[in-house]
Amino acid sequence: MENPLGCCLLTGNIGRNLKKSNMEHFDYIIAGGGCAGRSLATRLLPFLKARNKRVLVVDKSTKKENDKTWCFWEDRTDIFEPVVQRKWNRLSFSGLSYDKELSIQPYFYKMIRSGDFYQYTNDLLTNSPQVSIKQGEVQNLYSEDKKAIVTIDGVLYSADYVFSSIPQAQEKDSQRYQYLLQHFNGWVIETTADTFDPSCATLMDFNTSQHAGTSFFYVLPLSPRRALIEYTLFSEEVLPTASYTAALEKYIREQINCDHYTILEKEQGVIPMSDHPIKREDGRIIYLGTAGGFTKGSTGYTFRFIQKHTSAIVEKLYRSGHPRVPPISSFRFPIYDGVLLHLLNSKRLSGVEIFTTMFKKNHPVKILKFLDNETSIFEELLIFNTLQKKEFAMALWKRTLKLMKADSL
């Protein structure tokens, strides 16, 4: 079955015919020990100890490699502050004839290397007698009345609740919804002379061709001679590797003004950007992370939404003993995301036009709050008043028509 996330899928029937006698039971099973699974497991530790509960965390990979760099902004310190590698309270933005250095206080823009996060969470989780960590492939999940069943490498396990960040099977429905990809290649480079200002990160620099879709660079300075430079695009298809390489080389040469550097590390990734609703729960299975729809459709940011969701789950467990939580954001935000995606897809306005207007006409703190789904409706109206109202209204109308048309088929 095709999946908009483009990832592996659980197969459905495996496990239902396996023997259930002697099945090992846990209070909770966390299926997928990546960002969301480990965020939840770590937040659960005091609760597990206080209530003497047991959790199994299973992932098919050993999670030893540094496969991602997570950036996000927050105005407080949270439990993963010890692994924040760098943080900035000044960001630069370069759009259409507009360059600005922005103070984002009280926020800090933070960067975590996934390798540090896996190591840190591993140390905490393996030291807890309540936690078992297993490397194995989850082949199936299903919910029964009072428990959920998980098949791992052909063996059945049960739990009161399963938290899964393993991609769900979901067919594309292009009649109704928009599907874009945020795809990127990044290099950590070291230069031979002082080149970067480590006190200011580049959030978006649109000084690159917009030919292949909304395209921008992202620069995270780690020292005067070291930075992560990432070439990011929003479009329907990923590019051949050579195209990312050529764009990175050109940007470093022409915008960073640097000819002599060494590439220390490379990163690449694809994040789904869609307004296709995703099932958040299925009986005793609670979905987390990207698999649970916590990737913001219009930006791809996920890390902070994972933290908000997993904190809400733990709070709910303390208060009521069950982990079902109401949505962490207002219903308004998926509509805004859908409109923005529709606008980007329709090409009536380019990403550079939209983001330039947004940052030029609004305080950056308000924009960050808005992109975090935390503004009030009044604050949102003030922001909308500064945007290209005609194009946004048209996109809202067209998207609504698209949904209505698809419903009547």
Cβ distance to ligand FAD smaller for residue 245 or 346: 245
Query: Which letter does DSSP use for residue 240 in this model?
Result: P
Measured from the CB of residue 77, what is the shortest distance to ligand FAD in angstroms? 17
Backbone angles phi, psi at 143, to 5 degrees: -110, 135
Task: Let me know: does 260 contact 253? Beta carbons within 8 Å.
Answer: no
Cβ distance to ligand FAD smaller for residue 302 or 356: 302
Q: Rg of the chain's alpha carbons, rounded to an integer? A: 22
Structure tokens, 215: 């395209």
- Measured CA to CA in angstroms, residue 262 lies from 73, 191, 192, 197, 247 at distances of 29, 7, 9, 18, 16
Q: What does the binding site for ligand FAD look like in residue numbers (CB under 6 A)?
A: 8, 32-37, 58-61, 68-72, 137-138, 165-166, 267, 269, 271, 289-291, 300-303
Q: Cα–Cα–Cα angle for 342, 346, 349, nearest 5°?
A: 95
Cβ distance to ligand FAD smaller for residue 28 or 303: 303
Tokens 């922001």 belong to residue = 383
Q: How many CA atoms lie less than 13 Å away from 16 in the CB half-sphere?
A: 8
Cβ distance to ligand FAD smaller for residue 247 or 387: 247
Cβ distance to ligand FAD smaller for residue 137 or 197: 137
Measured from the CB of residue 367, what is the shortest distance to ligand FAD in angstroms? 16
Cβ distance to ligand FAD smaller for residue 189 or 271: 271
Q: Cα–Cα distance between 313 and 39 in angstroms, integer?
A: 11
Cβ distance to ligand FAD smaller for residue 295 or 395: 295
Measured from the CB of residue 400, what is the shortest distance to ligand FAD in angstroms? 29
Cβ distance to ligand FAD smaller for residue 59 or 275: 59
Other CB atoms within a 10 A radius of the CB of residue 178 amount to 24
Measured from the CB of residue 57, what is the shortest distance to ligand FAD in angstroms? 10
Measured from the CB of residue 61, what is the shortest distance to ligand FAD in angstroms? 4
Measured from the CB of residue 256, what is the shortest distance to ligand FAD in angstroms? 20
Measured from the CB of residue 68, what is the shortest distance to ligand FAD in angstroms? 4
Nearest to 6 by CA among 196, 271, 204, 268: 271
Task: Let me know: does 20 contact 156? Beta carbons within 8 Å.
Answer: yes
Backbone angles phi, psi at 110, to 5 degrees: -120, 155
Task: Let me know: does 73 contact 372? Beta carbons within 8 Å.
Answer: yes
Measured from the CB of residue 65, what is the shortest distance to ligand FAD in angstroms? 11
Task: Let me know: does 39 contact 309? Beta carbons within 8 Å.
Answer: no
